[in-house]
Amino acid sequence: MQLIFKIQKAKEHGRSPIEVVLKNKKEIFKTTTENTDELLEKLDTLLKKSKMKIESLKDIDVEIANGAGLTSKRIVLAISQALRLNL
């Protein structure tokens, strides 16, 4: 299973929408949030919806658009780095 965080260009007030994508061989599950405080909750919801476990992650990617917010980038990179420790 692959996890992808897509950080989009910042909107007003410097907030960058973040798309969370889970891919397995058969399906793709997606959700988006503009609030980094909800990011882990959104990931948990996607895992439950897809009936997958975090332990089944094989790859984690981060895609950062030009103009993405600095705080969003730092939070996503910290989360992805922490998750990679369990791969």
Q: What is the structure's pLDDT at 28?
A: 95
- Domain extent listing, the chain: 2-84
pLDDT for the residue numbered 11? 82
Which residue in this structure is represented by tokens 């600095």?
A: 70
Contact 76, 7 (CB under 8 A): yes
pLDDT at 6: 97
pLDDT of residue 13: 73
| Residue range 2-84, CATH number | 3.30.420.40
Q: What is the structure's pLDDT at 54?
A: 87
Helix (H) or strand (E) holding 39: helix 39-50
Q: The pTM is what?
A: 0.91
Write out pLDDT tens, residues 20-76.
999 988 899 999 998 889 999 999 999 999 998 888 899 999 999 999 999 999 999
Burial 37-46 (b: 16+ CB within 10 A, else e): eebeebbeeb
